[in-house]
A and B are shown apart, each in its own frame.
Chain A
């Protein structure tokens, strides 16, 4: 079974037919995506699926990865943090190195990029490749996956001078979009229902994981999956859990990546560990970055998913939780607001007390919890799966070909084949 047929089994034939029809107008076009890693992280996860899907739709799509040394990544890490709002000055020599590595990669990729009809550059790491391709014939789009709603201005000012040269940019939600002299497209991220993190899992697998972690299946489980980061408010989650525990037996799981290369994360994890004390019903799981199946099992085996962030980008862990048919109790911030709809897919909260109240309410009203879980899954099915993102990329490509008019009419009929 090809990929599109596998997706059709989940999203419906009409959705795939719609994609085929739209893509038919772009058949044979050459599209290149560029980022800085083939594995690990949300961008690579999406590209791993987006690229084969676009190829199956008849668009000649390739994926290039730039390479850099530790100084380059030191610079881009600082840039990433600064764009997210941390006051992070970057020394001039580090920026020069960043420019040099981009130039080296630009020279190596020049022939592939200059000949492409569309080039999508993901995030700041390869953002300067455009400068190395003066003979480019296609359109270049900068895809920003980062929450740039409150960037540290000096760093954004530096980057803006480079990304303003692109033909367009893509932002995850409107709050993140920064003024630039080209169209600012809005495309929220998505999850892949066929990937390890979101595919269906046999009940036995879930049970085996829970056994391994020592989590009882006889007591409700509430779970937050996220980095150990103050913005994710893990202490607030424990406070909420304790308030619930006074009335209802419950277990709490806080699962996040190991913090070996992140000193701040290690500090937060230590604080969380101290705050959790010796409570046997609090489970702190340090999972490796590729533990997709384990996270999937954890979310599926939980009763309620929490994402009590004080500040959040889009919040893909919320999407993942909703997709598993779980109501999500989320912080009233960022992209969580797009996904958690009060009384429908979960609850937005502003304090540990608010979270505790909603957890108790859902655990006491199982039929509401289940009903909300069904709504949650349907909501993601219709709005946040990768097929929607593919559709938006195709639409954007058409829009850029035909200019900035509000209405673009493609008048050539596509032969009626495989109509749903």
Chain B
């Protein structure tokens, strides 16, 4: 890795905005999904990582959770939960997949599932503010010490946000480590194997840190 390949550590913070749009039943949800701001699709799949949730929720995205908890439609919840946003670099493709699953479900069911008043699906989008921390990393082994100290915003930026920001749809660490010599191929492989969707950000930070420290066991970490 040359001296020019410096990793610029960024950070980010997310703020949620109510769109005012709400669905009372599955058909309304479908109707709104077709035209809703793309930021809502992103938020309802990925936003959960930066807002209150528990580490092993039964269903992974807000559409699945609503179907299960308020429409009481377990089958639909399971089908929606299977959609992994990490598989989609384009948010519109992800939107089409959600619509596809709901349309198929509606075509197979005899009734339209409804939620009680007060239990509507509320569409939310987010604004993301990204900023440069001023921290620079010159060698991968420096990550061993740095990663446990990074904010969860930095982890989100480099591991989650990177997937929609970069043309390769990969995390920033992997893109930084990829080089012609293949010196860090095994480290890269381990990083690429992390499934960010079924993890809380704090666990994701531990996992990335663990991978770097396994690859550079001789690096000392300050207390």
Contacts and interface: CB of A to CB of B under 8 A. Distances in A.
A339 interface: yes
B133 A414 contact: yes
A115 B16 CA distance: 28
B50 to A, nearest CB: 10
B182 interface: no
B52 A379 contact: yes
A413 interface: yes
B37 to A, nearest CB: 8
Interface in B165-219: 202
B17 A188 contact: no
Contacts of A420: 149-151
Interface in A159-180: 171, 174-175, 177, 179
Given A379-B52, A379-B54, A410 B130 contact: yes
Interface in A359-408: 375, 379, 382-384, 391-392, 394-396, 398-399, 402, 404-408
Contacts of A339: 52
Contacts of B79: none
A410 B54 CA distance: 30
**Which interface residue of A179, A344, A398, A407 has the most chain B CB atoms within 10 A?**
A407
A294 interface: no
B14 A395 contact: yes
Interface in B9-49: 11, 13-20, 39
Nearest to A407: B128
Nearest to A404: B127
B18 A177 contact: yes
B118 to A, nearest CB: 7
B158 interface: no
A21 interface: yes
B13 A391 contact: yes
**Which interface residue of B13, B134, B149, B152 has the most chain A CB atoms within 10 A?**
B13
Nearest to A186: B16
A333 B202 CA distance: 28
A204 interface: no
Contacts of B133: 21, 413-414, 416, 419
B51 A383 contact: yes
B130 A407 contact: yes
A92 interface: no
Interface string A315-344: 000000000000000000100001101001
Nearest to A417: B134
B93 to A, nearest CB: 18
A412 B8 CA distance: 12
Interface residues of A, number: 54
Contacts of B151: 14-15, 17-18, 420
B200 to A, nearest CB: 8
Nearest to A380: B52
B52 A383 contact: yes
Contacts of A171: 18
Nearest to A183: B17
Nearest to B155: A14
A236 to B, nearest CB: 19
A22 B10 CA distance: 11
A34 B20 CA distance: 26
Contacts of B111: none
B27 to A, nearest CB: 21
B132 A395 contact: no
Nearest to B128: A407
A22 B152 contact: no
Nearest to B200: A382
Contacts of A406: 39, 125-128
A149 B18 CA distance: 13
Interface of B: 11, 13-20, 39, 51-52, 54, 57, 118, 120, 122, 124-135, 149-154, 202
Interface of A: 13-15, 17-18, 21-22, 25, 149, 171, 174-175, 177, 179, 183-188, 333, 338-339, 341, 344-345, 375, 379, 382-384, 391-392, 394-396, 398-399, 402, 404-416, 419-420
27 contacts: A14-B150, A18-B11, A174-B122, A175-B122, A177-B20, A177-B122, A185-B15, A185-B17, A185-B18, A187-B15, A333-B118, A339-B52, A341-B54, A375-B54, A379-B52, A379-B54, A382-B52, A383-B52, A394-B13, A402-B129, A406-B39, A410-B130, A410-B131, A413-B134, A414-B131, A416-B133, A419-B149
Given A22-B131, A179-B20, A410-B131, 14 more contacts: A175-B122, A186-B124, A338-B52, A341-B54, A341-B57, A379-B52, A382-B52, A383-B52, A395-B14, A395-B129, A399-B15, A409-B130, A416-B134, A419-B149
